Structure 1
Amino acid sequence: MRPIIGITSYVVPATWGVWHDLPTALIPNDYVAAVEQAGGRAVIIPPDGRDPDVLRVLDGLLLAGGPDVEPVRYGAEPEPLTETRADRDAGEFPLVRRALELDLPILGVCRGMQVLAVAAGGTLHQHLPDVLGHERHRPAPGIYGEHEARFEGGSMIAKLMGDDVGVHCYHHQGVADPGTLTVTGRAEDGLAEAVEDPDRRFVLGVQWHPEVVRDRRLFGALVEAAS
Protein backbone atom coordinates (compact mmCIF):
# COMPACT_ATOMS: atom_id res chain seq x y z
CA MET A 1 0.00 0.00 0.00
CA ARG A 2 1.05 3.56 -0.61
CA PRO A 3 1.79 5.55 2.56
CA ILE A 4 -1.20 7.68 3.53
CA ILE A 5 -0.27 11.34 3.85
CA GLY A 6 -2.80 13.65 5.49
CA ILE A 7 -2.86 17.23 4.15
CA THR A 8 -4.37 19.99 6.27
CA SER A 9 -6.87 22.21 4.48
CA TYR A 10 -9.06 25.31 4.52
CA VAL A 11 -12.80 25.72 4.84
CA VAL A 12 -13.64 28.73 2.66
CA PRO A 13 -16.46 29.85 0.33
CA ALA A 14 -15.99 28.36 -3.14
CA THR A 15 -17.88 28.48 -6.43
CA TRP A 16 -18.22 25.80 -9.12
CA GLY A 17 -20.88 24.96 -11.66
CA VAL A 18 -24.24 26.22 -10.43
CA TRP A 19 -23.06 26.41 -6.81
CA HIS A 20 -21.89 29.72 -5.41
CA ASP A 21 -20.05 30.64 -2.23
CA LEU A 22 -20.57 27.30 -0.51
CA PRO A 23 -18.37 26.64 2.55
CA THR A 24 -15.89 24.13 1.13
CA ALA A 25 -13.02 22.06 2.47
CA LEU A 26 -10.24 22.50 -0.07
CA ILE A 27 -6.53 22.71 -0.73
CA PRO A 28 -4.63 23.53 -3.96
CA ASN A 29 -4.24 20.34 -5.96
CA ASP A 30 -0.49 21.00 -6.21
CA TYR A 31 -0.13 19.45 -2.75
CA VAL A 32 -2.12 16.35 -3.71
CA ALA A 33 -0.22 15.93 -6.99
CA ALA A 34 3.15 16.36 -5.27
CA VAL A 35 2.32 13.65 -2.72
CA GLU A 36 0.96 11.29 -5.36
CA GLN A 37 3.91 11.78 -7.71
CA ALA A 38 6.22 10.97 -4.80
CA GLY A 39 4.43 7.65 -4.26
CA GLY A 40 2.05 8.57 -1.46
CA ARG A 41 -1.74 8.50 -1.10
CA ALA A 42 -3.07 11.97 -0.32
CA VAL A 43 -5.97 12.46 2.11
CA ILE A 44 -7.33 15.97 2.75
CA ILE A 45 -8.02 16.79 6.40
CA PRO A 46 -10.57 19.55 7.09
CA PRO A 47 -10.04 21.65 10.24
CA ASP A 48 -11.38 19.80 13.30
CA GLY A 49 -10.39 20.94 16.77
CA ARG A 50 -12.11 18.14 18.66
CA ASP A 51 -9.26 15.63 18.68
CA PRO A 52 -6.24 14.42 16.64
CA ASP A 53 -7.57 10.85 16.28
CA VAL A 54 -7.25 10.90 12.48
CA LEU A 55 -3.50 10.40 12.99
CA ARG A 56 -4.22 6.75 13.81
CA VAL A 57 -4.86 6.07 10.12
CA LEU A 58 -2.09 8.27 8.70
CA ASP A 59 1.52 7.43 7.91
CA GLY A 60 2.62 11.06 7.53
CA LEU A 61 1.36 14.61 7.93
CA LEU A 62 1.69 17.54 5.52
CA LEU A 63 0.97 20.96 7.02
CA ALA A 64 -0.09 23.10 4.08
CA GLY A 65 0.30 26.82 3.58
CA GLY A 66 -2.41 29.30 4.45
CA PRO A 67 -3.33 32.21 6.75
CA ASP A 68 -1.36 33.61 9.65
CA VAL A 69 -1.08 31.80 12.97
CA GLU A 70 -2.99 33.45 15.84
CA PRO A 71 -0.40 35.57 17.71
CA VAL A 72 -1.91 34.59 21.08
CA ARG A 73 -0.42 31.14 20.48
CA TYR A 74 3.07 32.61 20.85
CA GLY A 75 2.25 35.24 23.45
CA ALA A 76 1.82 38.27 21.18
CA GLU A 77 -0.88 40.76 20.27
CA PRO A 78 -2.10 40.78 16.66
CA GLU A 79 -0.65 43.50 14.46
CA PRO A 80 -2.77 45.35 11.85
CA LEU A 81 -1.80 43.18 8.85
CA THR A 82 -2.11 39.81 10.61
CA GLU A 83 -4.97 37.73 9.16
CA THR A 84 -5.81 34.53 11.01
CA ARG A 85 -8.17 31.56 10.78
CA ALA A 86 -9.02 30.27 14.24
CA ASP A 87 -10.49 27.05 12.81
CA ARG A 88 -7.22 26.04 11.18
CA ASP A 89 -5.20 26.77 14.30
CA ALA A 90 -7.68 24.85 16.45
CA GLY A 91 -7.43 21.87 14.13
CA GLU A 92 -3.72 21.88 13.30
CA PHE A 93 -2.03 22.49 16.63
CA PRO A 94 -3.48 19.35 18.28
CA LEU A 95 -2.50 17.37 15.17
CA VAL A 96 1.07 18.66 15.28
CA ARG A 97 1.57 18.09 18.99
CA ARG A 98 0.20 14.56 18.84
CA ALA A 99 2.14 13.75 15.67
CA LEU A 100 5.34 14.85 17.41
CA GLU A 101 4.52 12.59 20.36
CA LEU A 102 3.99 9.69 17.96
CA ASP A 103 7.13 10.53 15.95
CA LEU A 104 4.99 10.65 12.81
CA PRO A 105 6.81 12.11 9.78
CA ILE A 106 5.84 15.77 9.29
CA LEU A 107 6.52 18.22 6.46
CA GLY A 108 5.46 21.82 7.07
CA VAL A 109 5.11 24.16 4.08
CA CYS A 110 5.12 27.96 4.53
CA ARG A 111 2.43 28.43 7.22
CA GLY A 112 3.13 24.80 8.11
CA MET A 113 6.72 25.65 9.03
CA GLN A 114 5.44 28.48 11.20
CA VAL A 115 2.96 26.15 12.92
CA LEU A 116 5.82 23.76 13.67
CA ALA A 117 7.93 26.56 15.14
CA VAL A 118 5.11 27.89 17.34
CA ALA A 119 4.23 24.36 18.50
CA ALA A 120 7.88 24.00 19.49
CA GLY A 121 7.70 27.13 21.65
CA GLY A 122 8.90 29.63 19.06
CA THR A 123 7.65 33.00 17.84
CA LEU A 124 6.94 34.73 14.53
CA HIS A 125 7.59 38.05 12.83
CA GLN A 126 4.10 39.29 11.98
CA HIS A 127 5.01 41.42 8.97
CA LEU A 128 8.37 40.91 7.30
CA PRO A 129 8.60 44.24 5.43
CA ASP A 130 8.63 45.94 8.85
CA VAL A 131 11.56 43.74 9.90
CA LEU A 132 13.51 43.27 6.67
CA GLY A 133 12.70 46.48 4.83
CA HIS A 134 11.57 44.78 1.61
CA GLU A 135 8.72 42.70 0.16
CA ARG A 136 10.68 40.14 -1.85
CA HIS A 137 9.14 37.22 0.05
CA ARG A 138 5.69 38.25 -1.26
CA PRO A 139 6.28 40.69 -4.10
CA ALA A 140 2.67 41.08 -5.28
CA PRO A 141 -0.73 39.38 -4.86
CA GLY A 142 -0.56 35.90 -6.36
CA ILE A 143 3.08 36.33 -7.43
CA TYR A 144 5.75 34.08 -5.93
CA GLY A 145 9.06 35.55 -4.88
CA GLU A 146 12.14 33.70 -6.11
CA HIS A 147 15.51 33.60 -4.38
CA GLU A 148 18.25 31.24 -3.26
CA ALA A 149 18.55 29.74 0.20
CA ARG A 150 21.64 28.74 2.18
CA PHE A 151 21.58 25.44 4.07
CA GLU A 152 23.61 24.16 6.99
CA GLY A 153 26.12 21.52 5.93
CA GLY A 154 25.10 18.02 6.97
CA SER A 155 21.48 18.97 7.62
CA MET A 156 18.58 16.99 6.19
CA ILE A 157 17.52 19.86 3.96
CA ALA A 158 21.05 20.38 2.62
CA LYS A 159 21.26 16.70 1.67
CA LEU A 160 17.85 16.84 -0.01
CA MET A 161 18.37 20.08 -1.94
CA GLY A 162 21.94 19.52 -3.10
CA ASP A 163 23.22 22.28 -5.37
CA ASP A 164 19.76 23.37 -6.55
CA VAL A 165 18.89 25.96 -3.91
CA GLY A 166 16.39 28.18 -5.75
CA VAL A 167 13.01 28.46 -3.99
CA HIS A 168 9.54 29.93 -4.63
CA CYS A 169 8.02 31.78 -1.68
CA TYR A 170 4.85 33.67 -0.85
CA HIS A 171 4.53 34.88 2.73
CA HIS A 172 4.56 38.07 4.79
CA GLN A 173 5.34 36.41 8.13
CA GLY A 174 8.35 34.35 9.19
CA VAL A 175 9.98 32.51 12.05
CA ALA A 176 11.66 34.80 14.57
CA ASP A 177 12.51 32.11 17.16
CA PRO A 178 12.30 28.42 16.21
CA GLY A 179 11.80 27.22 19.78
CA THR A 180 13.24 23.75 20.20
CA LEU A 181 13.65 23.29 16.45
CA THR A 182 16.92 23.92 14.61
CA VAL A 183 17.17 26.47 11.82
CA THR A 184 18.97 24.69 8.98
CA GLY A 185 18.35 27.10 6.13
CA ARG A 186 18.22 30.86 5.66
CA ALA A 187 17.38 33.29 2.89
CA GLU A 188 19.92 35.81 1.64
CA ASP A 189 18.48 38.37 4.09
CA GLY A 190 18.94 36.02 7.05
CA LEU A 191 15.31 34.93 7.44
CA ALA A 192 14.80 31.32 8.52
CA GLU A 193 13.92 29.21 5.46
CA ALA A 194 14.10 25.69 6.93
CA VAL A 195 13.73 24.14 10.38
CA GLU A 196 14.27 20.58 11.56
CA ASP A 197 14.01 18.44 14.67
CA PRO A 198 17.11 16.22 14.63
CA ASP A 199 15.76 14.18 17.55
CA ARG A 200 12.86 12.82 15.47
CA ARG A 201 12.97 10.66 12.37
CA PHE A 202 11.43 13.25 10.02
CA VAL A 203 10.30 16.72 11.07
CA LEU A 204 11.03 19.35 8.43
CA GLY A 205 9.59 22.78 7.82
CA VAL A 206 10.30 24.90 4.75
CA GLN A 207 9.22 28.50 4.28
CA TRP A 208 8.86 28.17 0.52
CA HIS A 209 6.34 26.29 -1.66
CA PRO A 210 7.90 23.08 -3.06
CA GLU A 211 4.50 21.79 -4.16
CA VAL A 212 4.42 24.41 -6.93
CA VAL A 213 7.23 22.60 -8.76
CA ARG A 214 6.27 19.11 -7.51
CA ASP A 215 9.64 18.84 -5.75
CA ARG A 216 10.20 15.09 -5.51
CA ARG A 217 13.15 15.61 -3.18
CA LEU A 218 11.07 16.92 -0.30
CA PHE A 219 7.83 15.06 -0.90
CA GLY A 220 9.75 11.91 -1.71
CA ALA A 221 11.59 12.20 1.60
CA LEU A 222 8.27 12.57 3.46
CA VAL A 223 6.76 9.56 1.69
CA GLU A 224 9.88 7.49 2.26
CA ALA A 225 9.90 8.35 5.97
CA ALA A 226 6.21 7.40 6.14
CA SER A 227 6.74 4.03 4.42
Structure 2
Amino acid sequence: MSRPLIGVTTYVSPASWGVWHDAPAELVPRRYSALVRAGGGLAAMLPPDEHPDAAADVVARLDGLVIAGGPDVAPARYGEAEGPHTQPPTADSLARDAWELALIHAAVDQRVPLLGICRGMQLLNVALGGTLTQHLPDLLGGSEEHSPELGRYGCHTVAAVEGTRTAAILGTEKLDVPTYHHQSVAALGQGLRVSAHSSDGIVEAVESADTAPDAPFLLAVQWHPEQGDDPRLAQALVAAAQR
Protein backbone atom coordinates (compact mmCIF):
# COMPACT_ATOMS: atom_id res chain seq x y z
CA MET A 1 0.00 0.00 0.00
CA SER A 2 1.39 3.42 -0.95
CA ARG A 3 1.99 5.91 1.82
CA PRO A 4 -0.62 8.70 2.08
CA LEU A 5 0.40 12.26 1.20
CA ILE A 6 -0.01 14.48 4.27
CA GLY A 7 0.19 18.25 3.86
CA VAL A 8 1.91 20.23 6.63
CA THR A 9 1.40 23.99 6.84
CA THR A 10 4.41 26.31 6.93
CA TYR A 11 5.02 30.01 7.53
CA VAL A 12 7.17 32.88 6.28
CA SER A 13 10.14 33.94 8.41
CA PRO A 14 13.60 35.46 7.87
CA ALA A 15 16.29 32.78 7.65
CA SER A 16 19.98 32.49 6.85
CA TRP A 17 21.85 29.95 4.71
CA GLY A 18 25.14 30.09 2.83
CA VAL A 19 25.88 33.72 1.97
CA TRP A 20 22.24 34.76 2.42
CA HIS A 21 21.15 36.35 5.69
CA ASP A 22 17.70 37.34 6.95
CA ALA A 23 16.12 36.36 3.65
CA PRO A 24 12.38 35.52 3.63
CA ALA A 25 11.91 31.76 3.75
CA GLU A 26 8.96 29.39 3.97
CA LEU A 27 9.60 27.25 7.04
CA VAL A 28 8.30 24.69 9.47
CA PRO A 29 10.31 22.84 12.15
CA ARG A 30 11.65 19.55 10.79
CA ARG A 31 10.02 17.60 13.60
CA TYR A 32 6.62 18.02 11.92
CA SER A 33 7.62 16.13 8.79
CA ALA A 34 9.41 13.60 10.99
CA LEU A 35 6.16 13.06 12.90
CA VAL A 36 4.29 12.44 9.63
CA ARG A 37 6.93 9.92 8.53
CA ALA A 38 6.84 8.22 11.94
CA GLY A 39 3.12 7.79 11.42
CA GLY A 40 3.68 6.15 8.03
CA GLY A 41 2.91 9.09 5.74
CA LEU A 42 4.68 11.22 3.17
CA ALA A 43 5.01 14.90 4.13
CA ALA A 44 4.31 17.76 1.70
CA MET A 45 5.01 21.32 2.82
CA LEU A 46 2.21 23.86 2.26
CA PRO A 47 3.48 27.47 2.32
CA PRO A 48 0.94 30.30 2.62
CA ASP A 49 -0.63 31.14 -0.72
CA GLU A 50 -1.60 34.73 -1.47
CA HIS A 51 -4.78 33.32 -3.01
CA PRO A 52 -6.61 31.43 -0.22
CA ASP A 53 -9.26 30.30 -2.69
CA ALA A 54 -6.61 27.88 -3.99
CA ALA A 55 -6.97 25.87 -0.77
CA ALA A 56 -9.74 23.65 -2.13
CA ASP A 57 -7.56 22.56 -5.06
CA VAL A 58 -4.62 21.88 -2.73
CA VAL A 59 -6.66 19.82 -0.28
CA ALA A 60 -8.17 17.79 -3.14
CA ARG A 61 -4.65 16.54 -3.91
CA LEU A 62 -3.93 15.49 -0.31
CA ASP A 63 -4.80 12.40 1.71
CA GLY A 64 -4.49 14.25 5.04
CA LEU A 65 -3.59 17.62 6.56
CA VAL A 66 -1.60 18.86 9.57
CA ILE A 67 -2.11 22.45 10.75
CA ALA A 68 1.15 23.27 12.53
CA GLY A 69 1.85 25.40 15.59
CA GLY A 70 2.90 29.03 15.50
CA PRO A 71 1.99 32.56 16.59
CA ASP A 72 -1.28 33.81 18.04
CA VAL A 73 -4.35 33.87 15.82
CA ALA A 74 -5.49 37.45 15.11
CA PRO A 75 -8.28 38.15 17.67
CA ALA A 76 -10.33 39.90 14.99
CA ARG A 77 -10.88 36.42 13.53
CA TYR A 78 -13.06 35.58 16.55
CA GLY A 79 -14.54 39.01 17.13
CA GLU A 80 -12.31 40.32 19.93
CA ALA A 81 -9.94 43.22 20.40
CA GLU A 82 -6.27 42.42 20.78
CA GLY A 83 -5.29 41.88 24.42
CA PRO A 84 -2.09 43.27 25.98
CA HIS A 85 -0.34 39.89 25.93
CA THR A 86 -1.40 38.84 22.43
CA GLN A 87 1.25 38.90 19.72
CA PRO A 88 0.45 41.80 17.36
CA PRO A 89 -0.55 40.50 13.92
CA THR A 90 1.89 41.05 11.07
CA ALA A 91 1.26 40.96 7.34
CA ASP A 92 2.79 37.47 7.23
CA SER A 93 0.79 36.15 10.19
CA LEU A 94 -2.45 37.55 8.77
CA ALA A 95 -1.71 35.87 5.44
CA ARG A 96 -1.04 32.63 7.29
CA ASP A 97 -4.33 32.93 9.20
CA ALA A 98 -6.23 33.39 5.94
CA TRP A 99 -4.50 30.48 4.20
CA GLU A 100 -4.82 28.00 7.05
CA LEU A 101 -8.44 28.91 7.69
CA ALA A 102 -9.14 28.25 4.02
CA LEU A 103 -7.32 24.90 4.25
CA ILE A 104 -9.34 23.92 7.32
CA HIS A 105 -12.66 24.77 5.66
CA ALA A 106 -11.63 22.86 2.54
CA ALA A 107 -10.59 19.81 4.58
CA VAL A 108 -13.88 19.85 6.51
CA ASP A 109 -15.90 20.26 3.30
CA GLN A 110 -14.01 17.49 1.50
CA ARG A 111 -13.85 15.20 4.57
CA VAL A 112 -10.06 15.04 4.37
CA PRO A 113 -8.49 13.84 7.67
CA LEU A 114 -7.08 16.75 9.68
CA LEU A 115 -4.79 16.94 12.71
CA GLY A 116 -4.28 20.34 14.38
CA ILE A 117 -1.29 21.00 16.64
CA CYS A 118 -1.23 23.82 19.23
CA ARG A 119 -2.09 26.92 17.14
CA GLY A 120 -3.66 24.41 14.75
CA MET A 121 -6.19 23.45 17.42
CA GLN A 122 -6.92 27.08 18.21
CA LEU A 123 -7.39 27.93 14.54
CA LEU A 124 -9.68 24.92 13.98
CA ASN A 125 -11.82 26.13 16.86
CA VAL A 126 -11.93 29.66 15.44
CA ALA A 127 -12.71 28.35 11.94
CA LEU A 128 -15.80 26.66 13.35
CA GLY A 129 -17.04 29.73 15.20
CA GLY A 130 -15.31 29.33 18.56
CA THR A 131 -13.26 31.79 20.61
CA LEU A 132 -9.95 31.76 22.50
CA THR A 133 -8.67 32.74 25.90
CA GLN A 134 -5.98 35.21 24.91
CA HIS A 135 -3.68 34.78 27.93
CA LEU A 136 -3.88 31.75 30.22
CA PRO A 137 -2.14 33.38 33.21
CA ASP A 138 -5.13 35.73 33.44
CA LEU A 139 -7.36 32.68 33.81
CA LEU A 140 -5.12 30.48 35.97
CA GLY A 141 -3.08 32.97 37.96
CA GLY A 142 -0.03 31.63 36.12
CA SER A 143 0.61 28.99 33.47
CA GLU A 144 4.19 27.80 33.98
CA GLU A 145 3.32 24.23 33.05
CA HIS A 146 1.76 25.28 29.75
CA SER A 147 4.50 27.71 28.70
CA PRO A 148 7.33 27.97 31.23
CA GLU A 149 9.52 30.55 29.46
CA LEU A 150 10.37 31.86 26.01
CA GLY A 151 12.00 29.23 23.85
CA ARG A 152 11.55 26.26 26.20
CA TYR A 153 8.82 23.62 26.09
CA GLY A 154 7.04 22.68 29.27
CA CYS A 155 5.59 19.34 30.27
CA HIS A 156 2.31 18.52 31.98
CA THR A 157 -0.24 15.75 32.13
CA VAL A 158 -3.37 15.44 30.04
CA ALA A 159 -6.17 12.90 30.15
CA ALA A 160 -8.49 12.02 27.28
CA VAL A 161 -12.24 11.97 27.81
CA GLU A 162 -13.63 8.44 27.88
CA GLY A 163 -15.61 7.48 24.79
CA THR A 164 -13.86 9.92 22.44
CA ARG A 165 -11.73 9.20 19.38
CA THR A 166 -8.82 10.78 21.26
CA ALA A 167 -9.24 8.23 24.04
CA ALA A 168 -9.41 5.41 21.51
CA ILE A 169 -6.00 6.53 20.20
CA LEU A 170 -4.24 7.47 23.45
CA GLY A 171 -6.20 5.73 26.18
CA THR A 172 -7.63 7.48 29.23
CA GLU A 173 -4.62 7.21 31.54
CA LYS A 174 -2.77 10.43 32.36
CA LEU A 175 -0.19 11.23 29.72
CA ASP A 176 2.83 13.53 29.98
CA VAL A 177 3.00 15.84 26.95
CA PRO A 178 5.37 18.57 25.68
CA THR A 179 3.64 21.94 25.65
CA TYR A 180 4.22 25.58 24.75
CA HIS A 181 1.21 27.91 24.65
CA HIS A 182 -0.26 30.89 26.47
CA GLN A 183 -3.69 30.76 24.81
CA SER A 184 -6.43 28.15 24.82
CA VAL A 185 -9.94 27.30 23.63
CA ALA A 186 -12.71 29.33 25.30
CA ALA A 187 -16.12 28.94 23.61
CA LEU A 188 -16.16 25.73 21.60
CA GLY A 189 -16.65 25.82 17.83
CA GLN A 190 -19.70 24.26 16.18
CA GLY A 191 -19.49 20.55 15.55
CA LEU A 192 -16.61 20.02 17.99
CA ARG A 193 -16.43 18.32 21.36
CA VAL A 194 -13.74 18.47 24.03
CA SER A 195 -11.73 15.25 24.09
CA ALA A 196 -8.93 15.90 26.61
CA HIS A 197 -8.13 18.19 29.54
CA SER A 198 -5.02 19.10 31.51
CA SER A 199 -5.04 18.65 35.28
CA ASP A 200 -5.93 22.34 35.74
CA GLY A 201 -9.00 22.02 33.51
CA ILE A 202 -7.69 23.59 30.30
CA VAL A 203 -9.03 22.12 27.06
CA GLU A 204 -6.16 20.10 25.60
CA ALA A 205 -7.85 18.34 22.68
CA VAL A 206 -10.95 18.73 20.54
CA GLU A 207 -12.45 16.49 17.89
CA SER A 208 -15.48 16.17 15.66
CA ALA A 209 -18.71 15.66 17.60
CA ASP A 210 -19.86 13.35 14.79
CA THR A 211 -19.64 9.82 16.22
CA ALA A 212 -20.89 7.97 13.13
CA PRO A 213 -18.64 5.08 12.06
CA ASP A 214 -17.83 6.88 8.81
CA ALA A 215 -17.27 10.29 10.42
CA PRO A 216 -14.17 12.05 9.04
CA PHE A 217 -11.01 12.26 11.16
CA LEU A 218 -11.04 15.77 12.67
CA LEU A 219 -8.88 16.03 15.78
CA ALA A 220 -6.60 18.66 17.29
CA VAL A 221 -4.40 18.84 20.37
CA GLN A 222 -3.04 21.78 22.31
CA TRP A 223 0.29 20.09 23.02
CA HIS A 224 3.20 19.37 20.63
CA PRO A 225 3.37 15.67 19.73
CA GLU A 226 6.18 16.39 17.26
CA GLN A 227 8.42 17.28 20.21
CA GLY A 228 7.97 13.88 21.85
CA ASP A 229 8.40 10.26 20.83
CA ASP A 230 4.75 9.16 20.68
CA PRO A 231 3.63 8.64 17.04
CA ARG A 232 0.09 7.47 17.81
CA LEU A 233 -1.70 10.64 16.70
CA ALA A 234 0.20 10.66 13.41
CA GLN A 235 -0.45 6.94 12.96
CA ALA A 236 -4.16 7.54 13.48
CA LEU A 237 -4.14 10.40 10.94
CA VAL A 238 -2.33 8.24 8.39
CA ALA A 239 -4.67 5.30 9.00
CA ALA A 240 -7.66 7.58 8.40
CA ALA A 241 -6.00 8.92 5.23
CA GLN A 242 -5.52 5.38 3.95
CA ARG A 243 -9.23 4.71 4.36
So what's the TM-score if we normalise by structure 1?
Answer: 0.97
Indicate conservation of the 8 Å contact 1:33/1:214, yes or no.
Answer: no
2:76 to 68, 72, 77: 72
2:85 to 81, 88, 93: 81
Distance 2:103 2:137 in 1: 31
Indicate conservation of the 8 Å contact 1:49/1:94, yes or no.
Answer: no
Distance 2:184 2:209 in 1: 21
What is residue 153 of structure 1 aligned with on the other side?
Answer: 162
Distance 1:38 1:3 in 2: 10
What is residue 181 of structure 2 aligned with on the other side?
Answer: 171
1:142 to 115, 135, 151: 151
What is residue 221 of structure 2 aligned with on the other side?
Answer: 206
Indicate conservation of the 8 Å contact 2:60/2:110, yes or no.
Answer: no
**Deviation at 1:91?**
0.7
Distance 2:199 2:227 in 1: 21
Distance 1:153 1:90 in 2: 34
| Amino acid aligned to 2:97 | D
Distance 1:132 1:16 in 2: 41
Instruction: Give the SS at the match of 1:177.
Output: coil
| Amino acid aligned to 1:74 | Y
- Residues 76-85 or 109-118, more deviating: 76-85
Task: Point out 4+ residue stretches in structure 1 off by more than 4 angstroms.
Answer: none
**Deviation at 1:164?**
5.5
Distance 1:215 1:198 in 2: 25
Identity %, equivalent residues: 51
| Amino acid aligned to 2:128 | A
What is residue 19 of structure 1 aligned with on the other side?
Answer: 20
Residue correspondence of structure 1 range 1-227 to structure 2 within 5 A: 1-50=2-51, 51=53, 52=55, 53-83=57-87, 84=89, 85-136=93-144, 137-162=146-171, 163=173, 165-180=175-190, 181-199=192-210, 200-227=215-242
Structure 1 stretches of 5 or more lacking a match?
none
Instruction: Give the SS at the match of 1:93.
Output: helix
Instruction: Give the SS at the match of 1:143.
Output: coil
- Residues 27-36 or 141-150, more deviating: 141-150
Indicate conservation of the 8 Å contact 2:159/2:174, yes or no.
Answer: no
Instruction: Give the SS at the match of 1:201.
Output: coil
| Amino acid aligned to 1:58 | L
Structure 2 stretches of 5 or more lacking a match?
none
So what's the TM-score if we normalise by structure 2?
Answer: 0.90
**Deviation at 1:156?**
1.1
| Amino acid aligned to 1:208 | W
Distance 2:22 2:182 in 1: 27
Instruction: Give the SS at the match of 2:189.
Output: coil
